[in-house]
Structure 1
Amino acid sequence: MATISAMSETPSYGEIPAPPGLRDRVACLWRFRQADAPASPVRILPDGHVDLIWDGRALFVAGPDTAAAMADVEAGVVLTGMRLAPGVGANLLGLPLHHLANRRVALAELWGTRANRAGDALAEGRNPQAALLALCDGVVVDRRMQQLFRFLQTEEAARVTGLAAALGFSERSLRRRCQDAFGYGAKTLDRILRLQRFLKLAPHHPGLTAAALAAGYGDAQHLARDTQQLVGLSPRALLAGHGR
């Protein structure tokens, strides 16, 4: 699940860095408050992450998205989220992430009574973010998948070809490990992270083509195809609604 960007100015969204000792397991904490009046659905961009979300009543998992998703959030609802660091989700949740791709699942379906205890702690406590962070205590991080993710985030990211050997995998093993760790293969992850890189770089370049090339697209047409397929918007419309 990606950063929530509301379609009107009334809803609010903010991120909080994870504590230093948990930054290999938690990408960030976040809070979203929907407007009190009825609001349009919220577009959520794919970003290669999985989020655990508390809505004040239930705890659920937003699995890895392969394309933008539209979410209806009730008026006045406050969501508190924890975005997991790459290489953490499968070990924390206890199953390969391809089972959760493009899904929103109650944590109780995965954890049973353990999820109920976590929900009770969230309902009773004054600090839901601390209760979410406690869920990551002791979880094992897949360091090689974390390394792959961080490499593909960079502006110098190469094509996926050759990454398997660099990480000590066969091509088949890399595909399986990525599907388990991210919910999809390395090529899909590469496309998603390139789109996120474009959003980050666009404000610092004079035009769409310059930003597209800096982000790793072959040309402006390549960018347009990816934004349409991954988000359902043109590059300009994407920047207008989700630019940073």
Structure 2
Amino acid sequence: MYTEWPSSLPHVVAWRSIAAPHTGTGRILPDGCLDLIWHEGSVFVAGPDTTAQLSAPTPGDRHHALRFGAGTGPGVLGVPASELVDRHVPLDQIWPATEVRRIAEADDPGAALEAAARERWQPPDPVMVAVAEGARADRPVSEIAAGAGLGERQLRRRSVAAYGYGPKTLNRIFRMRRAVALARAGRAFAAVAADSGYADQAHLAREVRDLAGVPLGELVTQVADAA
């Protein structure tokens, strides 16, 4: 069972999951976020992914987590997202072990994660919030940069630090997730391609295979992404 809800921190989602029997293998799609995760007494950071990760939890496995959107994760963790791309890093490699132990041993891991994040919270960078909004809206990078008063290279450097990749990659990820949601809702793939902003169905197929690792037809039959 997977449940999520808005955290009290802006641009952050809290979530928890308990793996049911016969859950099977799930595919966790890239989402442009960092996650701070408690799992059965260990605490780690799941960095931003560039391709889907496979998840095969043991029945009964518990996760409590915070998902940091809009580039807010690095301010809390104290490291740029670019150092965490496609990695799972134990939190005690980043934070003091005593602080991590308090979270690991907490009676309410979700509350402990949120309290720790609140103590280290940095206000969201308005430019990075605009990057996420622009990427979701399929706006050109030049337009996003102009709106922020930055050159495209400078915008990309800041985006890589906040998200682990530049605005173009972030746009590809958001568009792919939009397409997968439509396909899982039963839309025809040609309509999915048109409604998600792809040039054609072949373009959709290439992007999904690149970012998810499998064809769209196979992806929609798999367990939806959750930890």
Q: TM-score, normalised by structure 2?
A: 0.88
Q: CA deviation at 1:109?
A: 0.3
Q: CA deviation at 1:239?
A: 2.2
Q: CA deviation at 1:64?
A: 0.1
Q: CA deviation at 1:175?
A: 1.2
Corresponding residue number in structure 1 for 2:3: 14
**Structural mapping, 1:1-244, within 5 Å:** 12-19=1-8, 22=9, 24-26=10-12, 28-36=13-21, 40-113=24-97, 116-125=98-107, 127-137=108-118, 139-140=121-122, 141-154=124-137, 157-202=138-183, 206-241=187-222
With 191-200 and 45-54 compared, the bigger mean Cα shift is at 191-200
Q: CA deviation at 1:70?
A: 1.7
Q: CA deviation at 1:16?
A: 2.2
**Percent identity (aligned):** 36
Runs ≥4 in structure 1, deviation > 6 angstroms? none
Q: 1:217 to 1:243 in 2, by over 3 A?
A: farther
Gaps of 5+ in 2: none
Q: Check the 8 A contact 2:35/2:47 in 1, yes or no.
A: yes
* Aligned AA (2:102): D
Higher RCO by CA contacts (8 Å cutoff, separation 6 or greater): 2
Q: CA deviation at 1:119?
A: 3.2
Q: What SS does the corresponding residue of 1:124 show, helix, strand or coil?
A: coil
Q: What SS does the corresponding residue of 1:221 show, helix, strand or coil?
A: helix
Q: 1:177 to 1:227 in 2, by over 3 A?
A: same
Gaps of 5+ in 1: 1-11
Q: What SS does the corresponding residue of 1:83 show, helix, strand or coil?
A: strand
Q: Check the 8 A contact 1:201/1:211 in 2, yes or no.
A: yes
Q: TM-score, normalised by structure 1?
A: 0.83
* Aligned AA (2:90): A
Q: Check the 8 A contact 2:91/2:100 in 1, yes or no.
A: no
Rounded Cα–Cα distance in structure 1 between residues aligned with 2:212 and 2:59? 24
Q: What SS does the corresponding residue of 1:136 show, helix, strand or coil?
A: helix
* Aligned AA (1:59): V
Rounded Cα–Cα distance in structure 1 between residues aligned with 2:200 and 2:187? 15
Q: 1:40 to 1:53 in 2, by over 3 A?
A: same
Rounded Cα–Cα distance in structure 1 between residues aligned with 2:66 and 2:127? 22
Q: Check the 8 A contact 1:56/1:79 in 2, yes or no.
A: yes
* Aligned AA (1:14): T
Rounded Cα–Cα distance in structure 2 between residues aligned with 1:242 and 1:215? 22
> 1:174-197 CA deviation, whole Å, 9 max, x = no partner?
111111000011111110011112
Rounded Cα–Cα distance in structure 1 between residues aligned with 2:176 and 2:160? 19
Rounded Cα–Cα distance in structure 2 between residues aligned with 1:68 and 1:124? 30
Rounded Cα–Cα distance in structure 2 between residues aligned with 1:136 and 1:240? 36
